[in-house]
Amino acid sequence: MYDVIVIGSGPGGYVSAIRCAQLGLKTAIIEKYATLGGTCLNVGCIPSKALLDSSEHFYNATHHFVEHGIEVKEVKANFSQMIQRKNDVVAQTCQGVKYLMEKNKIEVHHGTGSFINATTVSVTSDTGTKELQAKNIIIATGSKPNYFPSMVPDKQRIITSTEALSLHEIPKKLIVIGGGVIGLELGSVYARLGSEVEVIENSSTLLGTMDGSVGKELTKILKKEGLKFYFEHQVQQVTNLGEKTAIVALDKKGNEVNFESDYCLVAVGRKAYTEGLGLEKVGITTTPRGQVEVNEHLQTQVPNIYAIGDVVQGAMLAHKAEEEGVYVAEQIAGQKPHINYNLIPGVIYTWPEVASVGKTEEELRAQGVEINIGNFPIKALGRARASMDTSGFIKIIADKNTDEVLGVHMISARAADLIMEAAIAMEYRASSEDIARICHPHPTYSEAVKEAALGATGNRYLHS
Ligand code: FAD
Ligand code: NAI
């Protein structure tokens, strides 16, 4: 009998297992695939960032090197090598999780986990079925790509992010359905490698849930990178024509618009994954969106069964899953953990990067909060001109009465790392004056954070 069985080895599950083991709990983890690490390591965060980095080097070599005074005779994309490097990065990272399981004495069982009752799980693999028992069980089975009946992926020409990360050729033309995080990151990869990339989005902007200023600016930036956007277009049908795909959409006036491409990437969100888990056997229900229902302690209707990460409500992000994994482990061990859901940063790894934490301007205005805004353009930074990364801005929103920082939204080179200054400041409930009075190193992108804070305290920008 284990103290804890974790079902699913993504960033939620494996981190939770490690924390359980650290707390002295006898722990096992069940993973249906041969490698550990879940979506994030195998077909998500890590492989997408590997291809984003490779394609960015290629783009810089073909578009910016000459201006930097670097002349290279012929730059060619060796796509199969890019994919091979990505595969190597994934393999090393998954191997790292295996090592962490061994180091923490967590027993790994490969196979599909399915509830028999509230303390027993069967594990079925090619070699047969076994039963494991535990006092507590954590569901960390993650998510899968979502799609609609008009756009069923056949994985050949009509693809999801999983296939887009392992194509055998650079598409001449790629149509992306959905201008969300996956569409923009993978759309960027292929646009940089020379594909003609068109994005069909059914709403009127990109990244509708983020601060409005971000979607507008990013649209302009990505258009310059060569992406083409069709907003307010409803896809009616996607068909595999053998060598091509045909896409029929309706524009906002109801006119039919026809598209053709080598590949069509369906990126219209992800859905919680509970197939084969046997939730009905233990009486655990799901929401209308298929997510496992949990209370504020991430506990299901069955008190000794918890659920974390993409399979429950909230942002579908690896770091959110990890926080929940640690939370549940500590909860089981009798501690009183806490997660500040308002301060889970979101990052989109386009170039420049997009990052955000806290409330958006739209949310705060809708709540009637009086606010001050500081907004500093990246092009005003000496560091940005030196590296030729001048697009974007940093926006800080502070409470008009208390000056507390309530939201920070940015598009900038290195925003993925810069956002943590904002998250730390907000965790300590800093005012924009606090940030403005901290000495920031020169020349860095972080100076734009200080400048935006100076702006939010009352138009005290020093460099614009
Ligand atoms: P998952 O990582 O989905 O892991 C669930 C695991 O459970 C899987 O290994 C699955 O095989 C296993 N499993 C399911 N059912 C069973 C069963 N019955 N028995 C045994 N095992 C089972 N997030 C970020 O924060 N940053 C990023 O840059 C980022 N990039 C992404 C890029 C792409 C292309 C995609 C698709 C996603 C990206 N994400 C990113 C999202 C991130 O991958 C997820 O939020 C994260 O993986 C969720 O972790 P999880 O542990 O909840 O589930
Ligand atoms: P998403 O929710 O980010 O974007 C989906 C987009 O598709 C939205 O803009 C939506 O309006 C649009 N859409 C929905 N139905 C449509 C239709 N019928 N026709 C046209 N457009 C339609 O989902 P996405 O990009 O699939 O990513 C899934 C999740 O994976 C994200 O929610 C994110 O949490 C996670 N992820 C995170 C990354 C990161 O942190 N950098 C990178 C990639 C994924």
Structural domain contains residue 462 = no
Residue of 40, 126, 294 best suited for mutating to test ligand 1, as the one with most atoms within 8 Å of CB: 40
pLDDT band at residue 37 using 50, 70 and 90 as cut-offs: very high
Cβ(341)–Cβ(327) below 8 Å: no
Do 320 and 222 lie in one domain? The reply is no
- What is the C-alpha to C-alpha distance for residues 375 and 388, in angstroms, rounded to an integer? 20
| pLDDT tens sequence across 284-328 | 999 999 999 999 999 999 999 999 999 999 999 999 999 999 999
Q: What does pLDDT average to over the chain? A: 97
Do 134 and 6 lie in one domain? The reply is yes
Please identify, among 244, 268, 292, the residue that sits at the C-terminal boundary of a domain.
268
pLDDT band at residue 9 using 50, 70 and 90 as cut-offs: very high
Do 154 and 232 lie in one domain? The reply is yes
Do 379 and 405 lie in one domain? The reply is yes
Do 18 and 92 lie in one domain? The reply is yes
Structural domain contains residue 461 = no
Do 349 and 428 lie in one domain? The reply is yes
pLDDT band at residue 424 using 50, 70 and 90 as cut-offs: very high
Give the range of the structural domain holding residue 187, as residue numbers without chain letter.
149-268
For the record, the structure tokens of 266 come out as 């369906």
| pLDDT tens sequence across 163-176 | 999 999 999 999 99
**Residue found under tokens 């308002």:** 342
442 is catalytic: yes
Structural domain contains residue 463 = no
| pLDDT tens sequence across 386-413 | 999 999 999 999 999 999 999 999 999 9
Q: What is the pLDDT of residue 241?
A: 96
Q: What is the pLDDT of residue 194?
A: 97
Structural domain contains residue 356 = yes
**Cβ of 203 below 6 Å from ligand 2:** yes
What's the DSSP call for residue 141? -
Q: Which atom of ligand 1 is the closest one to the Cα of 316? A: 45
Cβ(314)–Cβ(291) below 8 Å: no
Structural domain contains residue 59 = yes
Q: Which residues of 333-351 are buried (b: 16+ CB within 10 A; e: fewer)?
A: beeeeeeeeeebbbbbbbb
The residue whose CA is least distant from atom 4 of ligand 2 is: 180
**Cβ of 145 below 6 Å from ligand 1:** no
How many domains are contained in the chain?
3
What's the DSSP call for residue 150? G
The residue whose CA is least distant from atom 17 of ligand 2 is: 202
Do 264 and 373 lie in one domain? The reply is no
**Cβ of 166 below 6 Å from ligand 1:** no
| pLDDT tens sequence across 211-245 | 999 999 999 999 998 999 999 999 999 999 999 99
Structural domain contains residue 393 = yes
Average pLDDT over residues 195-223: 94
- What is the C-alpha to C-alpha distance for residues 206 and 217, in angstroms, rounded to an integer? 10
Do 136 and 6 lie in one domain? The reply is yes
Do 258 and 292 lie in one domain? The reply is no
